[in-house]
Structure 1
Amino acid sequence: MLNPKMAVSLICSKTQHRVSSVLNRDAKQFGKKYMFDSNEETCWNSDQGDSQWVLLEFPQSVRMTEVKVQFQGGFSGRTCRLQGCLQENDFAQITDFYPEDDNSLQSFPIQEAPPVHKIKIVFENSADFFGRIIIYSLDILGERMQ
């Protein structure tokens, strides 16, 4: 079991990130980078459609202990699937989590996650009728593997 005090943010300048879509393809205003800029005025806003996703590729293998996410109320994921893989392997299911539909920073502990190089958070559905997701802040906590 990991010591919770050792958990650090695994997202760094070398972490690559991709998203399923951006509202009206307007990355300048709603791009993926805004999930990680620590500015509560900016956000990633997906376009409409079910199964929006965020993909993170870390510069080294990591072991996740927690997902922290802040949605805009009315645009949160309802059923979220966390998947992971090492290097070029296929994604495997790690866990599901079920956020509240509000503006608070929410935390989801990940029990006994395997080491991964990439993670994908799939928002299978949204509180929004059109399937849009809005995220102000996303962080993955855990430890970097040697």
Structure 2
Amino acid sequence: MHSLISPDARIKVSSTLDKSVGKKYLTDGSPETCWTSQQGSPQYIQILFPSPVLLKQVAITFQGGFVGTRCTVDARTSESGDWSNLTAVYPEDVNRKQVFDVVSPDPVQGLKLTFEESSDFFGRITIYDLDVQGDDP
């Protein structure tokens, strides 16, 4: 099992509060930087992988108080295919890294995390680190 987020993976987010907290900081590995969404729910993160992958786990480090407390996890098997639901996860309102088992029975080309609720009254989400673990098919 290894990280599936490579420089060739394309990441898209629903919104960004401002350029100092942009999507590039989701996966830069620095504990000093983060992505913060604008207010309002839902918010999402979409990852398109350069080639099909087998998903195993998603690891997210939120900022406490700005946690996506209900998250649907969707996948698609091709770049232009329809999204299908894999599971739902319920992160705790804490600062530490949280790891969720997200197993795809078949290889997928994309992953979408939709945060339907936030612990923030205004619906903002702040993530310091995001990693997706899995295998090559």
TM-score by length of 1: 0.90
Q: Equivalent residue of 1:34, what SS?
A: helix
Alpha-carbon offset, residue 35 of structure 1: 0.8
Bigger CA radius of gyration: 1
The one-letter code sitting in structure 2 at the alignment partner of 1:18 is K
Q: State the match for 2:132 in structure 1.
A: 140
What is the total number of aligned residue pairs between the two structures? 136
Given candidates 51, 70, 73, the residue that maps to 2:64 is 73
Unaligned runs of 5+ in 2: none
The one-letter code sitting in structure 2 at the alignment partner of 1:130 is F
Q: State the match for 2:109 in structure 1.
A: 117
**Structure (1/2) with the larger helix percentage:** 1
Q: In 2 relative to 1, CA 56–111 (structure 1 residues): closer, same or farther, beyond 3 Å?
A: closer
Q: In the aligned structure 2, how far is the partner of 1:112 from the partner of 1:90? A: 15
Please identify runs of 4+ aligned residues in structure 1 that moved more than 3 A. none
Q: In the aligned structure 2, how far is the partner of 1:106 from the partner of 1:113? A: 22
Q: Equivalent residue of 1:125, what SS?
A: strand
Given candidates 1, 9, 31, the residue that maps to 1:15 is 9
**Structure (1/2) with the larger strand percentage:** 2
Q: In 2 relative to 1, CA 97–62 (structure 1 residues): closer, same or farther, beyond 3 Å?
A: same
Q: State the match for 1:4 in structure 2.
A: none
Alpha-carbon offset, residue 111 of structure 1: 3.7
Q: Deviations along 1:19-52, whole A, 9 cap, x unmatched? A: 00001xx22x010010111110100000000010
The one-letter code sitting in structure 2 at the alignment partner of 1:103 is N
Superposition pairs of residues 1-146 of structure 1, within 5 angstroms = 7-23=1-17, 26-27=18-19, 29-87=20-78, 88-145=80-137
Unaligned runs of 5+ in 1: 1-6
Q: Percent identity, aligned pairs only? A: 43
TM-score by length of 2: 0.96
Q: In the aligned structure 2, how far is the partner of 1:112 from the partner of 1:54? A: 18
Q: In the aligned structure 2, how far is the partner of 1:39 from the partner of 1:8? A: 19
Q: In the aligned structure 1, how far is the partner of 2:2 from the partner of 2:40? A: 33
Alpha-carbon offset, residue 18 of structure 1: 0.5
Q: Deviations along 1:59-102, whole A, 9 cap, x unmatched? A: 00011100000000000011100000022110000000000101
